Amino acid sequence: MLKISDEKMEIFYQIRSKIIKHKNIVIFHHIRPDGDCLGSQFGMKNLIEVNYPEKNVYVVGDPKDVYPYLNFKMDDLPYEKLEDSLAIIVDANYKERLECRKYLDDNCFDEVIRIDHHPNDDDLNASLRWVEPEAPAAAQQVTELAYGLGWKLNSAAATYLYLGIYTDSVRLTTNTTTYKTMFLVSWLWENGAQKDLLHGEMAKRSLEDIKINNYIQQNMQIKNGVVSFFFSLEDQAKLGIDDPLKANRPFVLSSIDDNKAWVFFTEEKPGQIRCEFRSNGACVRNVAVKWGGGGHHRASGAQISDPKNIPLIVRDLEEEIKNIAEYK
């Protein structure tokens, strides 16, 4: 059994009552979609459909064909006020991070709630927020909600939620992965999560990927405990990458010798560079925030425009890792 505090159960009851109250429910995911935002979104959709079959549940966004072996089919929803409606934002905070933010800008819904593990504020004007930075994935929160409320769990919901937990917890290895994660994962497995499909598909490597990763590892910089790499559009093109989303690979720089942090710079278009910060203990969020971004303690992001700032950011990271003892 998983013990859930009275305070948390109170939030669960409030979420449930908002779902019961509204006929139409619309669930959002964030831009640059990942397994957690899509898994939370589709997990929640399936949970509501199974437990409240009289509701209309819509998923909006653009899954960008990530995880093509899962059926992330979005709904068409007209841009107009939707009567008797509730929007649920999962795994995201600011509207600029949301796919289809226009619905929220135009106040298409009666109410908005947010379920998220990013420790940031939001601009959603939400009537209820459940923010739990300790959770390795928003999908773990959705799973706990379903478990706590005694909801029925079908195989589709279990598969989507497991995808979210498995990917955001880096295959159940982050330090935020706890006994609670494993308890909820076991509940998902028990209820038909297609774990073998997910494990098999995610273990696949393509020759193209191997070549790209080799290139990165041959050209990365290592200095003062920080690993960094800048992937220019020119170099991406040389390697046959046509979409910068596929170039962004911070994991290739991870856990090399005793280095403390790593940062991956991806040129997405001229004058737009994505910075992905990671660490095994240092607070990379401090550096991300300084450069206009945000995120988690050990995984953060920012956008910059000028490649001349790259050495400055790397130097900031070299400074930040000196504070690592504060977080042990």
Give CA–CA dist 297/27, Å, rounded.
27
91 touching Mn ion, by CB under 5 A: yes
Nearer to Mn ion, 176 or 266 (CB): 176
CB of 276 to Mn ion, least distance (A): 14
CB of 206 to Mn ion, least distance (A): 25
Nearer to Mn ion, 57 or 165 (CB): 165
Asked whether the beta carbons of 105 and 84 are under 8 A apart, the reply is: no
CB of 36 to Mn ion, least distance (A): 3
122 touching Mn ion, by CB under 5 A: no
CB of 250 to Mn ion, least distance (A): 15
Nearer to Mn ion, 143 or 259 (CB): 143
CB of 118 to Mn ion, least distance (A): 7
Residue among 18, 36, 103, 140 that touches Mn ion (CB under 5 A):
36
Nearer to Mn ion, 36 or 122 (CB): 36
> Which residues pair with residue 113 across a beta bridge?
88, 128
What Rg do the C-alpha atoms of the chain give, in angstroms?
20
Q: Hey, how many other C-beta atoms are within 10 angstroms of the C-beta on 68?
A: 9
Give CA–CA dist 142/170, Å, rounded.
18
Q: Could you tell me where the beta strands, DSSP code E, fall in the chain?
A: 24-28, 56-59, 85-90, 111-116, 128-131, 221-223, 226-231, 261-269, 272-279, 294-295, 299-304
Q: At what angle do helices 138-148 and 6-21 cross, to 10 degrees?
A: 90
Nearer to Mn ion, 97 or 260 (CB): 97
Residue nearest to Mn ion (CB): 36
Compute how many residues bind Mn ion; rule: CB under 5 A.
Answer: 4
Residues in region 146-175 near Mn ion by CB under 5 A: 168
CB of 39 to Mn ion, least distance (A): 9
Question: Taken in order 217, 175, 202, 235, is the CA torsion positive or negative?
Answer: negative
Residues at the interface with Mn ion (CB under 5 A): 36, 91, 138, 168
